[in-house]
Amino acid sequence: MVALRDVDVPVLPLDRFRPLVGEERYADLQATARLTREAVRGRTVWTLNSTAAGGGVAEMLRVLVGYGLGTGLHVRWQAISGDEPFYAITKRIHNRIHGSPGDEGGLGPAEANHYRSVSEENATAFLGEARPGDVAILHDPQTAGMSRPLAEAGVHVVWRCHIGADLSNRWTEEAWRFLLPELRAAQAFVFSRQAYVPAELSTARVSVIPPSIDPFSPKNYDMSSEAVAAVLQAIGVLGGPPDVPATFARFDGTQGTVARRATIIGEDHGLDPSQPLVVQVSRWDRLKDMAGVMAGFAEGVAERSDAHLVLVGPAVDGVADDPEGAEVLAECASAWHRLRRQQRRAISLVTLPMDDVDENAAMVNALQRQATVIVQKSLFEGFGLTVSEGMWKAKPVVASAVGGIVDQIAAGTGVLLDDPTDLEQFADVLVDLLRRPEDAIGIGDRARRHVIHHFLGDRHLLQLARLIGELLD
C-alpha cells in the first residue's frame, strides 16, 4: 500500500501584498477570502501532486497553500507515491502533451493498467482521511487517475493541468486519448492557457488561470548585492570567501544560512563578479533545451563577448518524478567536454542541492539577480515561470515564443525568439543585449512593472478562490 506524504507549509499573511498591489486590489482580495471561507466552512481543501520539491508546480503550491491557510481555510497538501514504471509513464504523457515523443515508449493497455493501479492505491490512501464534501485539486497527469474514485466517494474534484501545447499533433492526441477517460468524473478543470484545453473538454467547467510568482518567497525576495555575492561565493560560483555571512530569508520568515555547495562543471570554479552573466535556470529536461542554449552560446557568443553562460538545474537525485533528469544532465556534460577550450572557459553547468528547499531557492534567487541576461530557450513550455521570476528581478529575458512564455512577455519587456531552434538568431540577440547595457536596464525595469500588474499571487488566489466558491455553490 502506498503512503501519501503530508507537506507542511507555514501560514502566510495576505496583508504582505497590501503595499505592493495597492488598496483596491487588496480590498478585493480580502472580500473574496471572506466569501470563500463561508462557502468552504466545515470542509477541507486538498491539493495533491507528485512531489513536494523540484519544479514550478511544487513551488507554486507552497505559496497557494500558505496563503490559503492565511485566509483561515482548512487547506492540506499531500504528495502521492509511485514506482519507477509509473513515473516513466507520466513523464511520457508529459512530453507528449507538449507535442514531443519523449522516450517513444508505449501508452497502451499495459501502461493504462499500471497507471490505474497506482492511482487507485493513492486514492484509497487519500480517502482514509478525506471526507465527502471536501474539495480535492489534483495537479497534472500524475494525479488524473484519482479523479473517479475520489468523485465516487463524494469529494469535489478539480483537475489542474499545468502543461500543454498550442498545436495538436499525433503525440498530443495520443496523450489525451490516454488521459481523458481518467478525467470523466472531475467536476472542474483548470488550464494555464485556453489553447491547452482539449476539444473534448470544451463543454465542461473549464477555467483558465495563469500561474503566478510570490514576490516574498526565498526565490524572489529582494536581496542586496552584498547578500547575492555572499550566497554565490558560498556555493562556489563566484571566487573567494564571502565577505558577509551567506544568509537568506526562509519561507516561514526565519533566517537561514547557505551551507551546501553547488556541483559545478566548468574550467574555473570562481567567476569574476564583474563579468556579465547569461543564466538559464530549469530542470534538466530536453524540452528546456539546455544543450541548445550551450551550443548557441558556444558558437555565437563565446568569441564575441566576455560574458559567461551558467546553466543551472537541480541535483538530479532531488526530483522524484523526473526520471530523465540524470540522463539529460549527462548529455549536457558530455557536450560541454566536446567544446573547444575557449568555449568551455565561457560556460559552466551548475547543479544545486535540493536537501533544503529554501536554501535551493535562495541560490536560484542569487543567480538570477547576478545575471546580466536571463534566458529561457524552451522548445515547448507549459508556462515557464522562470520568465516572470527574471522579469520580477528587473532583468531582460530572452525566451522562446512558445506556450505561456508568450503570455508573459509584452512588447518592450523582453525578447521573444520566433524559432527556438535558430541558434544563430539566439546568439545575435544575446550579443546585441550585452552590448547595449542601458537598453537592457530599461527592458528590465518595464518587465518588473509588468509582472506586478499581471503575475503576482494575489490575482491567482482570487481566481482560484472564486472557482472553489462556484463549485460549492
Residue type, 238: L
Mean pLDDT of 350-357: 95
Query: How is residue 151 written as a grid cell?
Result: 468523485
How confident is the model at residue 241, as a pLDDT?
84
pTM of the model: 0.88
Task: Give Cβ neighbours of residue 230 (< 8 Å, ≥ 6 apart).
Answer: 242, 243, 244, 245, 246, 247, 258
Q: How many residues appear in the chain?
A: 473
Contact between 3 and 81 under an 8 Å Cβ cutoff? The reply is yes
* pLDDT value for 447: 98
Which of helix, strand or coil describes residue 409?
coil
Whether 76 and 83 have beta carbons less than 8 Å apart is answered as: no
Domains by residue range for the chain, with CATH: 5-212+456-472 (3.40.50.2000), 225-454 (3.40.50.2000)
Residue 331, CA atoms < 13 Å, CB-side half-sphere: 14
Q: State how far the Cα of 404 lies from the Cα of 264, in Å rounded to an integer.
A: 30
Q: Which residues lie below 8 Å from residue 159, measured CB to CB, with a gap of 6+? A: 137, 138, 143, 144, 147, 183, 186, 188, 189, 190
* Band (265; pLDDT cuts 50, 70, 90): very high
Residue 242 and residue 226: Cα distance in Å, rounded?
Answer: 9
Task: Report the alpha-carbon distance of residue 237 to residue 342 in Å, rounded.
Answer: 19
Cell of 412: 518592450
Q: What is the pLDDT of residues 398-409, one digit of tens each?
A: 999 999 999 999
Nearest residue to 13 via CA among 184, 253, 211: 253
Across 332-353, b (16+ Cβ under 10 Å) vs e yields beebbeebeeebbebbbbbbbb
Amino acid letter, 186: A
Pairing of strands 247-249, 263-265: unpaired
Residue 453's pLDDT is 94
Backbone angles phi, psi at 429, to 5 degrees: -65, -45
Local confidence band at 166 (pLDDT 50, 70, 90 cut-offs): confident
CA angle, corner 99, sides to 96 and 105, nearest 5?
35
pLDDT in tens, 91-114: 999 999 999 898 889 999 999 999
Residue 16 DSSP label: G
Give the model confidence (pLDDT) of 18-77 as tens digits: 999 999 999 999 999 999 999 999 999 999 999 988 778 998 999 999 999 999 999 999
Residue ranges in 208-324 assigned as alpha helix (H): 225-235, 290-300
With cut-offs at 50, 70 and 90, classify the pLDDT of residue 1.
Answer: low
Rounded CA-CA distance 214/453 in Å is 13
Mean predicted confidence (pLDDT) in 132-152: 98
Distance CA 75, CA 191 (A): 21
| Alpha-helical segments (H) within 71-108 | 84-97
Query: What confidence tier does 269 reach under pLDDT thresholds 50, 70, 90?
Result: low
Which among 230, 262, 243 is positioned nearest to 369, based on CA atoms? Answer: 230
pLDDT value at position 306?
96
Q: What is the b/e burial string over 427-442, where b = at least 16 CB atoms within 10 angstroms of the residue's CB?
A: bebbbebbeeeeebee
Joined grid coordinates for residue 347: 560556460
Q: Is 220 exposed, middle or buried (0-12, 13-18, 19+ CB in 10 A)?
A: buried
Cα–Cα distance between 282 and 55 in angstroms, integer? Answer: 8
- Residue 269 near residue 236, CB atoms below 8 Å: yes
Tell me which residue has cell 477517460.
Answer: 181
Question: What are the φ and ψ backbone dihedral angles of 456, each rounded to 5 degrees?
Answer: -95, 160
| CB burial string 85-104: b at 16+ within 10 A, e below | ebbbbbbbbbbbbbbbebee
